[in-house]
Amino acid sequence: MFDSLDADLILDAVASVLLVLGGLMSLAAGVGLVRLPDLHSRMHAATKPQVLGLLSLLLAAAITWRSWEWVAIVLLAWGLQLLTAPVSAHVVGRSGYRTKHMRRDLLTHDELASAVERISRDIPPSRG
């Protein structure tokens, strides 16, 4: 269907779009880290380049390399990042909640507050 020149052109175009998308994710993380008011919203901004930005850049690299073997390795790297990013996000978010590095007035709904209150009240074991 395509001759070789058109295929190269299309693949370079896709890789270019993916590169700029990954860069935009990093820019969004930077702007979010500067602008957002408290820890948890900054965490929300910080996870953008960790997952989507890295996926975009790795796919762009694999496209420009033109080989399926590197696609497998790239997906391995992205899958490992996808596995380990929630671990740090969970631990940092939990310690941020416990040490109160957040602004409660910005929360619309605190789902953890009811659990914390239920535990911190000394409930008799009949209700427990």
Q: Distance (Å, rounded) from C-alpha 19 to C-alpha 56?
A: 6
Q: Distance (Å, rounded) from C-alpha 1 to C-alpha 4?
A: 9
- Asked if 52 interacts with other proteins (CB under 8 A), we say no
User: From the CB of 122, what's the least distance to other proteins, in Å?
Assistant: 8
Max Cα–Cα distance, the chain, nearest Å: 77
CA separation, residue 58 to residues 36, 40, 53, 84 (Å): 28, 27, 8, 17
User: From the CB of 1, what's the least distance to other proteins, in Å?
Assistant: 21
Do residues 85 and 51 lie in contact, with contact meaning Cβ atoms separated by under 8 Å? yes
- Asked if 80 interacts with other proteins (CB under 8 A), we say yes
Which residues are at the interface with other proteins (CB under 8 A)? 9, 12-13, 15-17, 19-20, 22-24, 26-34, 39, 42-43, 46, 49-50, 53-54, 57-58, 60-61, 64-65, 70, 73-74, 76-78, 80-81, 84-85, 87-88, 91-92, 94-96, 98-105, 113, 116-117, 119-120
